[in-house]
Chains A and B, each alone.
Chain A
Amino acid sequence: MTDTQLEEVWRREAPYVLAVLVRSYGHFDDCEDATQEALLAAATQWPTDGVPSSPRGWLIRVAQRRLVDQARSEVARRRRETSFAGSGASADEGTDADLDDSLYVLLLCCHPALTKASQVALALRAVSGLTTAQIAAGFLVPTSTMAQRISRAKATIAGAGGTFPPPAADLWARLASVRHAVALLHTEGHLSSSGPSLTDPGFSDEAIRLARLLVNAAPHDPENAGLLALLLLTQARAPARTTGDGDLVPLEQQDRSRWDADRIAEGVRLLETALPVGPVGEFQLQGAIAAVHAEAATWADTDWPQILELYRMLDSVAPSPAVTIGLAVAEARVHGPVVGLRRLDALGDSANHRVHATRGHLLAELGQRVEAIEALRSAARRTRSIPEQRYLNDLAGRLRVE
């Protein structure tokens, strides 16, 4: 077995091991430490001794031994004297026994006291079984910085009070948080590029894997399918989103034959099943908008009235500046640029560069070149993305020349 295959085994087993420990001992932070130590032991022992017949059983035994060792030490015993004995009770009650192990750990990671970024970092370790160094590399920060974030996140969970593990009802209530964390991870997937290329599949693929896990473990909530559909449909466009030189290609100019047809088909199928179930939430609506784009043969064929309707629904379910921008673009296509510009006025002189970029595009359509150039330049000044800045500066430059 190669190192990669070995790694796949312990990465796959990590959330099950952690779930077993937390269900019987409580104390997320200690159990997570013990799981990591068991994975480390596997990394050193398996390559020489071979993979045990039951890798999961082996990992659980090693992790449990670490926990017991720790519990025996004087300090640790004093710390957990009261709770250690009683903590097994919740598992006996079976309140969360119907929860899939991976989802269970994912819900534990998405503790409401943590920031989204911390929830994501913790989930990558606890559910995806990534090492701190791998997570740090993905976020382009030193390993020590990421280690600090993860240990702080665990300490926050340990210190947050309340019963641990939390009752199943409390965990289920975190499902929406989990979806947002997975969506953020998918965005970070694009962000994780350290080289000249814009799209690093690593985190994006992991986000899709976690969204799939959500759909399988909690199929009753159509928003999970909505999230998975959105991620698949977004990811489907990745090959066409940049040129070979790493330049951005706007949706309007993308070569649609390079979109991933399999991912689009799966995304559309998911939405067709999810949408009639209701209630229609933000991820289903965002997914549906992505699906309308995906199903149009060309930019000109896009069903803008339908997109406008979907944005109106999204605006009432989950309003945000990004939704207002989408609404403005759709209104401009259906009712003309002037209507779109009026919508953008509601956002004022925003720090969000996309407001200025969209204003620039719409002004250019109206032939107001001077104002368009000014808006595009102002968007270029505000963005933190080098490819976006280059795209906006080029566009403004072309308007000046014409």
Chain B
Amino acid sequence: MKYVILIHSNPQPWGHPTEQYVAEHQALPEGTRKQLNDEFEQAFTELMERGEFVGAEALGDPAASRLFRWREGERLATDGAYAEGKEHLAGFFLIDVDSPERAEEVARCFSGPGETVELRPVMSQSSDAE
């Protein structure tokens, strides 16, 4: 079953990997930062080795976004970030795993201070997708 892991973050300045530009993460003692990075590396390597990694992309600065909306019967394009909120979609991972439990285990390793990691199931065209 496929899941997408969405990384919501607000790196300052915008950059990847996001945690290097997130104040809450940088405020941690170096030992803790290293431990978190190592845990992520290990989880990611395992994801690859198990054949569960499907794809991933890092996204550009939300300020570079173009937004397209419908206004008074016309398409209107504007510049700028979609959400005014504190966090933006910074990137995503697509995984294919055997169980919801495994998906949660993976997503947990992708989270860190100052960021929100969202795990969402991917829908299927199959009529029997359980």
Interface of B is mostly: loop
Interface segment out of the listed A103-111, A191-199, A278-286: A191-199
Residues of B near A146 (CB, < 8 A) are 51
Asked, given contacts A148-B48, A384-B122, whether A190 binds B127 with beta carbons under 8 Å apart, the answer is: yes
Asked, given contacts A145-B51, A152-B49, A191-B128, whether A386 binds B96 with beta carbons under 8 Å apart, the answer is: no
User: Do A248 and B52 have beta carbons less than 8 Å apart?
Assistant: no
B123 located at the interface, meaning its Cβ lies under 8 Å from any Cβ of chain A in the complex? yes
User: Do A242 and B125 have beta carbons less than 8 Å apart?
Assistant: no
A368 located at the interface, meaning its Cβ lies under 8 Å from any Cβ of chain B in the complex? no
User: Do A384 and B127 have beta carbons less than 8 Å apart?
Assistant: no
CA separation between A187 and B126, bound complex, in Å?
Answer: 10
Asked, given contacts A117-B98, A141-B96, whether A187 binds B54 with beta carbons under 8 Å apart, the answer is: no
B53 to chain A, nearest CB (A): 6
The residue in chain B whose Cβ has the minimal distance to the Cβ of A387 is: B127
The residue in chain B whose Cβ has the minimal distance to the Cβ of A198 is: B127
The residue in chain A whose Cβ has the minimal distance to the Cβ of B52 is: A145
CA separation between A351 and B53, bound complex, in Å?
Answer: 25
B122 to chain A, nearest CB (A): 7
Asked, given contacts A242-B127, A384-B1, A386-B124, whether A152 binds B55 with beta carbons under 8 Å apart, the answer is: no
B75 located at the interface, meaning its Cβ lies under 8 Å from any Cβ of chain A in the complex? no
Residues of A near B121 (CB, < 8 A) are 384
User: Do A145 and B123 have beta carbons less than 8 Å apart?
Assistant: no
B57 located at the interface, meaning its Cβ lies under 8 Å from any Cβ of chain A in the complex? no
B63 to chain A, nearest CB (A): 31
Asked, given contacts A384-B1, A384-B121, whether A149 binds B51 with beta carbons under 8 Å apart, the answer is: yes
User: Do B127 and A241 have beta carbons less than 8 Å apart?
Assistant: yes
B130 located at the interface, meaning its Cβ lies under 8 Å from any Cβ of chain A in the complex? yes
A134 located at the interface, meaning its Cβ lies under 8 Å from any Cβ of chain B in the complex? no
For chain B, which range describes its interface: under 10, 10 to 19, 20 to 34, or 35 or more residues?
20 to 34
B129 located at the interface, meaning its Cβ lies under 8 Å from any Cβ of chain A in the complex? yes
A146 to chain B, nearest CB (A): 7
B103 to chain A, nearest CB (A): 12
The number of chain A residues with a CB under 8 A from chain B is 36
A142 located at the interface, meaning its Cβ lies under 8 Å from any Cβ of chain B in the complex? yes
A-B contact count (CB 8 A): 77
The residue in chain B whose Cβ has the minimal distance to the Cβ of A117 is: B98
B54 to chain A, nearest CB (A): 6
A109 to chain B, nearest CB (A): 16
CA separation between A194 and B54, bound complex, in Å?
Answer: 15
User: Do B126 and A193 have beta carbons less than 8 Å apart?
Assistant: yes
**Most chain B beta carbons < 10 A, residue from A141, A190, A353, A383:** A141
User: Do A148 and B126 have beta carbons less than 8 Å apart?
Assistant: no
Within 8 Å by CB of B125, from A141, A352, A353, A387, lies: A387
Interface residues of A in 229-248 (CB under 8 A from B): 241-242, 246, 248
Interface on A for B, CB 8 Å cutoff? 115, 117, 139-142, 145-150, 152, 187, 190-191, 193-196, 198, 241-242, 246, 248, 351-354, 383-389
Given A145-B54, A384-B123, A389-B123, 14 additional A-B pairs, CB 8 A: A145-B53, A152-B51, A190-B128, A191-B129, A193-B125, A198-B125, A198-B127, A242-B127, A352-B130, A354-B130, A385-B123, A385-B125, A387-B125, A388-B129
Interface on B for A, CB 8 Å cutoff? 1-2, 48-55, 96, 98, 100, 121-130
Can you list 29 residue pairs at the A/B interface with Cβ under 8 Å? A117-B98, A139-B96, A142-B55, A145-B51, A145-B53, A145-B96, A146-B51, A147-B51, A149-B50, A152-B49, A152-B50, A152-B51, A187-B128, A190-B127, A191-B126, A191-B128, A193-B126, A195-B125, A198-B126, A246-B125, A352-B130, A383-B130, A384-B1, A384-B121, A384-B130, A385-B125, A385-B127, A385-B130, A386-B125
